[in-house]
Amino acid sequence: MSQSTVLIDRLSRWQRQAGIIGILGIIASAAGFAFDRPQFFRSWLLAACSGPGSRWALLAST
Amino acid sequence: MHNVVGGNWGVIMRRPLESASRTIWITGILLAPIFAGMAFYYPWARPDAAHDPNLVLKAPYLNLPFFAGRFVFYFLLWSFFAYRLSAMSAKTDSSSDKGIQIRMRQFGSPALLVFVLTATFAFFDWVMSLEPHWFSTMYGGMYLIGQALAAIAFVIILLERCSDQSPIRENLDMPLWHNLGNMMLAFTMLWAYLSFSQLIIIWSGNLPEEISWYLTRFTNGWGPMAWSVAVFNFCVPFFILLHRFVKKNPKLLVKVCIGMFVMRLVDVFWLSQPPLRPNLFFSWMDLATFAGIGGIWLYFFFQDLKGRPLVPLRDSRLLVNRKAAHHV
């Protein structure tokens, strides 16, 4: 069973796009931290508790 | 969970789920900035907590050094589980030893129990203790099942986007899509069961220290969001997923999953934000932090996913291996 190079290229493209969005988001968040710290804290907790999928995935894959 | 209960349905999901769980250390790093705002988030971390008899009683558990220690412990333990299981899973690519699957089940059973227990306490720590006077023993389970639902929705979306290429193409047939849809339906019902149970118990008890949690979430603009969570996170997907033709059609199933994924974010907003913003409002920073954290996490997730075969090649439950065994 071969692994399609098209699929690997597609994953690489998504990875690049995610990285760019992530860096831009972090830069914008850093600006937010400088200008409005309470709002930064509210938004950061929200994103940290809802965004990454690792904890959910660990439950499903255990 | 798949290692414990077995079945054919989870084999195709395993590698994306393993890659997601192997990046759990990233989520620990991304969550760490909350330590810079402890006094902002948590009433028990403020100096005036010493004058609140209720918080003084809870201080042996809700104090900064113990909170930080638990935070580190959770992520170390979960990383150990994730790497141990995925290392055993990787061995199945090069060996057809049936004993590996048995060892994965033997390790997965206690790991699942410990994970659910520690994750429950983690959500008590990070989210429930935003309102330290309120408590619910169901809270952790409710939060955890909701997040498992989001994980399944995310993986179904990913699989559909990859289903035109090998090795996903030849390992996903209509019965498997149907099974994945049934998983979504089961977790949707379980989430609704836990959420409604908590509501009905607190409503029937009608105790001031308990109902305050719901009063906060049904007033000052939060009411419509509460109703939207009930309708679009349960009622609508429940009735849609009851239909077999939806679960057997990947394009339709993905639309339901995208809707569920968005509603999971709305639900987390509704659960976590009312103590931090008593009147409902949105900020551009909600989007910026979500893009930042989500983008960075996805970057590492795809990096890990590319590094290994996208399906466990020699697993006898994989569709192509089942077909080959049938022909033999």
SS (H, E, C) B8-61: CCCCCCHHHHHHHHHCHHHHHHHHHHHHHHHHHHCHHHCHHHHHCHHHHHHCCC
Q: At what angle do helices B174-205 and B139-162 cross, to 10 degrees?
A: 160
Tell me whether B269 touches chain A (CB under 8 Å): yes
Side-chain-facing half-sphere of B209: CA atoms under 13 Å: 6
For the stretch B140-156, pLDDT in tens is 888 888 888 998 999 99
Q: Specify whether the CB–CB gap between A22 and B298 falls below 8 A.
A: yes
For the stretch B189-246, pLDDT in tens is 999 999 999 999 999 988 888 899 999 999 999 999 999 999 999 999 999 999 999 9
Q: Is the pLDDT of residue A54 over 60?
A: no
Subunit contact A25:B292, Cβ cutoff 8 A: yes
Subunit contact A29:B292, Cβ cutoff 8 A: yes
Q: How far is B253 from chain A (nearest CA, A)?
A: 19
Q: Which residue has the tokens 């050094």?
A: B65
**Interatomic CA distance for residues B8 and B31, integer angstroms:** 35
Q: Is the pLDDT of residue A56 over 60?
A: no
Q: At what angle do helices A5-35 and A37-50 cross, to 10 degrees?
A: 150
**Interatomic CA distance for residues B110 and B107, integer angstroms:** 6
For residues B71-94, average pLDDT: 88
